[in-house]
Structure 1
Amino acid sequence: MANIGNASNLNCKALVLGATGGIGGEVARQLRDAGWQVQALRRGSNPPQAQQEGITWLSGDAMRREDVMLAARGCSVIVHAVNPPGYRKWNEWVLPMVDNTIAAARAEGATVVLPGTVYNYGPDTFPLVAEDAPQRPLTRKGAIRVELERHLHDASQQGARVIIVRAGDFFGPRAASSWFSQGLVKPGRPVSVIQLPGAAGVGHQWSYVPDVARTMVELLARRASLPAFASFHAGGHWDADGMQIAAAIRRVVQRHGGQAGTRAFPWWLVRLAAPFAPTLRELLEMRYLWRQPLRLDNTRLKAFLGDEPHTPLEQAVEATLMGLGCITPESAPI
């Protein structure tokens, strides 16, 4: 594994866009812990240069190029982990935001780091997907993400550098907006029922956010050895039959004195409500990812790093449930 603690030998100042989100926030904290100077941009009335947890927070908007350019001044890395809230305004915001990041990266000679999505791929590439698989998405969001990555690839031919790390469905202690936290369990409540979005027997890939963030930090420590445009797939946790994540949740809940059953996710209810709720319409559009197995091939990543950061499943699930307020430290067995 790369030694990520020796950041002082490099120009290690990073801007994180989307640091209030799950993956952006985790990358920001891990970069900080590895010795980087970390700046983060967020909307709101917080004063410029506000220090919190060793991260410098700047007021600004990723949709305003001048804000991004100013925040990125002196940075050798820009983490582009920002997305429109929910599934709304993707067609209006996604590409302008990445173009602002690209402009700042080119001005500073910086490396852009992007958390990639599986939306880019259609079923013609399933079940095992390598980085060079054709990107023929089924959905509008997938098409937008393909175009986003094309913008980044073009920028890499014009002076910017790019690292993409694609992963499966996120889960983690601070990943509040995820299938785990909004579909499988209910945050802030003891787990009595686990909802299963996929059918039994259909594999699904999960990615623990701290592991994905560590992967990005380790790749950045070796970025001088990468080409101008580098794409990697993270293996994460492969749930081969679609039931292992639920079984891990159940075991953790039992250790904390509870009992949890399972039931099918109410797709029928989503379908009924979708005409009246844009977010549910977008959710329904992604159902194909629960009907067919999609596994990202991490051969390239393991060859480059020597291994992939990987927290054992039950340990990751326990930390996630604790972070979501579904279990408490007091309920742990003595």
Structure 2
Amino acid sequence: MATNNSSYLVLGGTGSIGYAFTQELLQHQEQVTLLVRNKQKAQKLFGQWPTLQLVEGDAQNGDLLKKLGAEATHIFHGVNYPYGKWQGNMERVTQHVIEAAAVNKATIFFPGNIYNFGLIEVITEDTPQKPGTKKGAIRVKLEQMLQQAAEHNRCRVITLRLPDFWGPNVMNEGIAPVFRAALEGKPMPWLYRNDIPHQLVYTPDAAHAFYELAKLPQQAAYTEYNYAGEVLPSIKLWQAQIAEGAGTAPKYKLYPGWVFRLMGLFSADMREISEMGYLWQNTLLLNDDKLRRTLPNLKHTPMKQAIAETLAWHREMGELER
């Protein structure tokens, strides 16, 4: 059932984590307004729900965002841009989100990531943020903006820091090709190394964690949690499980680092990927003891079930696109 008198504005709802959070809200009969750039795409993704309102527009439209924010108790900031368009765009849209939340002193939900820390083995909420990349520095700035807004009593902010995520509608070029290739019996791609432990989170589990945090009594103005998801022994073993779920023989394709360095000489997008290469060459782990103390009954979808659900989503979407 819905939480009392809550109204959610979701930005980035047709993206990876925003999609999962919207589904979580709708299943609990929450009032949800989804700001989307393509209404037709959103209708195809979500179908009809009695508590869902779709508004077509751009999150960079500050006036529109403030108008929608006036009706919201919670704003989910899931806006993301391609790597090469982060600079400027991410800061501007985050400022618009803050202004929108300030209208009604809403709570902003922000999905954080591990870019803020550079190469460090274990990350807690107290780990100093020392990014070693341009995108890491941008992420630090976004979180500083949100924290300052909360500390100045303009809004509340809950940041849930996540590792790499996967699941239905996770369409980035690291994850979606793995599932598509498994269904087609083709080699499943990965970057740099597929033989070391890697941390991933299933997006419906992360969405559920966000929702459980929303139901808690008033907390501090700014709160940060890590969500560890699951540590895989290796991507190769995980891909073998995906192939098994798809009913195909496991095949693998590994893209080594030198490919991105070479292609980066000619392509800005490839340079952006090369800069983040350390994320695939090393094992970086989030510690989520704080979240587990706060939400001791947090659920975890069994891997076999999560894989089956994701494959089913890709099959269904593949049929719709034909």
TM-score calculated relative to the size of structure 1? 0.86
SS at match of 2:75: strand
SS at match of 2:63: helix
1:303 aligns with 2:296: no
Q: Structure 1 residue 239: deviation in Å? A: 1.3
Aligned 1:316-331 pairs, distance under 5 A: 316-325=306-315
Look up the equivalent residue of 2:238 and give its one-letter code: I
Q: Structure 1 residue 22: deviation in Å? A: 1.6
1:101 aligns with 2:97: yes
Q: Structure 1 residue 325: deviation in Å? A: 3.1
Q: Structure 1 residue 328: deviation in Å? A: 9.4
Q: Is the 8 A contact 1:119 1:145 kept in 2?
A: yes
Q: For structure 1, which segment, 32-41 or 90-99, has the greater mean C-alpha deviation from structure 2 after superposition?
A: 32-41
Q: Structure 1 residue 201: deviation in Å? A: 4.7
Q: Is the 8 A contact 1:170 1:178 kept in 2?
A: no
Give the number of aligned pairs: 311
1:74 aligns with 2:68: no
RMSD, aligned α-carbons: 2.4
Distance in 2 separating the partners of 1:43 and 1:145:
23
Distance in 1 separating the partners of 2:78 and 2:304:
26
Q: Is the 8 A contact 1:60 1:68 kept in 2?
A: no
1:147 maps to which of 126, 141, 148: 141
Compared with structure 1, are the counterparts of its residues 303 and 268 closer, same or farther at alpha carbon in structure 2 (3 Å cutoff)? same
1:117-149 Cα deviation digits (max 9, x unpaired): 1111111xx222101111111111110010000
Compared with structure 1, are the counterparts of its residues 17 and 200 closer, same or farther at alpha carbon in structure 2 (3 Å cutoff)? closer
Q: Structure 1 residue 314: deviation in Å? A: 2.0
Q: Structure 1 residue 185: deviation in Å? A: 4.7
Compared with structure 1, are the counterparts of its residues 68 and 301 closer, same or farther at alpha carbon in structure 2 (3 Å cutoff)? same
SS at match of 1:309: coil
Q: Is the 8 A contact 1:23 1:81 kept in 2?
A: yes
Distance in 2 separating the partners of 1:328 and 1:60:
27
Distance in 2 separating the partners of 1:323 and 1:260:
20
1:43 aligns with 2:37: yes
1:259 maps to which of 249, 267, 271: 249
Aligned counterpart, 2:16: 22
1:247 maps to which of 217, 233, 240: 240
Q: Is the 8 A contact 1:204 1:241 kept in 2?
A: yes
1:175 maps to which of 154, 157, 170: 170
Q: Structure 1 residue 6: deviation in Å? A: 4.5
1:290 aligns with 2:280: yes
- After TM superposition, which residue ranges in structure 1, 4 or more long, deviate above 6 angstroms? 326-329
1:130 maps to which of 124, 135, 143: 124
Compared with structure 1, are the counterparts of its residues 217 and 276 closer, same or farther at alpha carbon in structure 2 (3 Å cutoff)? same
Q: Is the 8 A contact 1:115 1:167 kept in 2?
A: yes
Identity %, equivalent residues: 30
Q: For structure 1, which segment, 147-156 or 229-238, has the greater mean C-alpha deviation from structure 2 after superposition?
A: 229-238
Distance in 2 separating the partners of 1:67 and 1:155:
20
Distance in 1 separating the partners of 2:270 and 2:12:
23
Aligned 1:182-197 pairs, distance under 5 A: 182=177, 184-186=178-180, 190-197=184-191
Aligned counterpart, 2:60: 63
SS at match of 2:84: coil
Name stretches of at least 5 consecutive residues in structure 1 with no aligned partner.
330-334
Q: Is the 8 A contact 1:40 1:57 kept in 2?
A: yes
Aligned counterpart, 1:332: none
Look up the equivalent residue of 1:210 and give its one-letter code: P
Aligned counterpart, 2:44: none
Q: Structure 1 residue 270: deviation in Å? A: 2.8
Q: Structure 1 residue 203: deviation in Å? A: 1.8
Q: Is the 8 A contact 1:169 1:178 kept in 2?
A: no
Aligned 1:264-275 pairs, distance under 5 A: 264-275=254-265
